[in-house]
Amino acid sequence: MATVNVYIDGTTLSNSTAVYTDAGLTTCATAGFYSDGSISREQVIDAAGKCSLLPNQTCATCGVTCGEDIVRANAFGLFLLDTNLGDGAADTGAVVIRYTPSAVPNGIKVEYNGVTYNKLSAPAYGKLQSTGVNDPFTFVGDTSLNCGFLGVNTPTEYEYDGSTFVLTGNTPSVTVNSVDLALTATAPGECVMVIPKTTALPVSALVKLAGFCAGTSFQITVECPTQLTSFAASLKQVSDAAACAETTYPVTLYNVPVTGTAGVPALHDYVFTDVNGEFAPNDGFYKTVDGGVEYSIQVVDGIIEAVITCP
């Protein structure tokens, strides 16, 4: 992280309200994170040009750079990963999270810009998501390895310090209900989550991972925001036959690969109507073409649930 000379309106970063570039405290410093080596605070600038600092963060959660691959074995507990999604200047797009739990069940949810995300798509299973309320974790893994953790759990909490997970001293309460379990017949493999980052700020996303069975582990990468690749599609139809009968492709859609590639959608990929991955198309059947092969994709809740080659 670069070192810059700035001025604060308090005696310490912790008790200041804003950061400036001049001793007269008239020009706001650039929006983004500032640290004194002990704590970190994010500066935001409103539409009127007024700057202010958000609450303190300990330096163990100052923001891991997006794109870093993080692995945790023996992940028994609650693990926090605060990820910096850019420098706050112009980084927008879809934030793709690639999360591979072990076969032993593990839970995930991500908090960004006041919204909690917990929808996943797995290569062999498609959509995996809790149907509960109050922003629960989605637990995925092999159903035969479920050790039984419904109800209230009080796990040991860890946070990532840039190189390893360290104890915070907290033991938060986490309630797990049966609707939070999206377990499958085998390990789900690399699950994908998508978070839309439509504005430069905020830049921090908090990933929470929960392992309440012995032997669980995970690997996770929070990719930097990127503009999605488009593909041409037909108008929405009510069946694959009706979609295959279409002869034009007036609709522009975008995919996040799960089994496909960018711009070439395949089974269990996410589909959006915008480059940031914010809006899903209406449920239905859409025709598209790749390399001269025409096929219909069935989209349900923004995920491709069926692919049918047109005759």
Examine the pLDDT at 62 and tell me if it is beyond 60.
Answer: no
Q: pLDDT by residue (tens digit) across 78-87?
A: 999 999 887 5
Mean pLDDT of 186-209: 94
- Round to whole Å and give the CA distance between 297 and 287: 6
8 A C-beta contact, residue 64 and residue 81: yes
Q: Is the pLDDT of residue 200 over 90?
A: no
Is 60 exceeded by the pLDDT of residue 2?
Answer: no
Which comes out higher in pLDDT, residue 121 or 87? 121
Four-point Cα dihedral 66, 94, 209, 189, nearest 10: -100
What percentage of the chain carries pLDDT values higher than 90?
79
pLDDT for res 42: 84
For residue 159, what is the DSSP state? Answer: E
Q: According to the model, what pLDDT value does residue 3 have?
A: 52
52: left (phi over 0), alpha (psi -120 to 50) or beta: beta
Closest CA to 80 of 64, 95, 102: 64
Q: How far is CA 245 from the centre of its chain?
A: 37
247-305 tens-digit pLDDT: 999 999 999 999 999 999 999 999 999 999 999 999 999 999 999 999 999 999 999 99
- Per-residue pLDDT tens for 23-58? 999 999 988 778 765 567 888 998 899 999 987 765
Cα separation, 233 vs 285, in Å, equals 10
From 113-127, 192-206, 278-292, the region with the lowest mean pLDDT = 192-206
Question: Does position 5 have pLDDT exceeding 90, yes or no?
Answer: no
Question: Among 248, 247, 268, which Cα is nearest to 256's?
Answer: 268
Burial of 230 (0-12, 13-18, 19+ CB in 10 A): middle
Average pLDDT score, the chain = 92
pLDDT of residue 282: 98
Instruction: Give percent of the chain with pLDDT exceeding 70.
Output: 94
Q: Are the C-beta atoms of 270 and 121 separated by less than 8 Å?
A: yes
Helices marked H in 130-174: none
Q: How far is CA 36 from CA 44, 276, 277, in A?
A: 17, 33, 35
